[in-house]
Amino acid sequence: MLRMEVVVHDQSWPQITLTVTRESFKEGKVVVQDRKQYDLAYVKLEEMLHNQGRKMVEEIISRHQRSKPAGGQGQ
């Protein structure tokens, strides 16, 4: 299982700080952070979630492809 955590805060209003933390089997804990003007923050958060989520799914797929027995069909 992999995990992703998102924190959004407004300590620096009108800037919003976006922090995405992802746990990785390969890389350990990965933290990505950005600060955007409030009207651009949602688009940036979508981009961050997309990029980190893609890496998580690719890592899970890769892990299962490596463990597939030779000649087996798998599920």
Where are the chain's structural domains? 4-67
At residue 59, the pLDDT reads: 95
In the block, tokens 């998580």 appear at 56
Per-residue model confidence as pLDDT tens digits over 4-28: 999 999 999 999 999 999 999 989 9
pLDDT at 74 over 70: no
Answer left, alpha or beta for residue 28, where phi above 0 means left and psi between -120 and 50 means alpha. left
pLDDT at 44 over 60: yes
Mean residue pLDDT across the chain: 92
**DSSP class per residue in the chain:** ---EEEEEE-TTTTEEEEEEEEEETTTEEEEEEEEEETTTHHHHHHHHHHHHHHHHHHHHHHHHHHHSPTT----
Model pTM score: 0.82
Categorize the per-residue pLDDT at 66 as very low, low, confident or very high, splitting at 50, 70 and 90.
confident
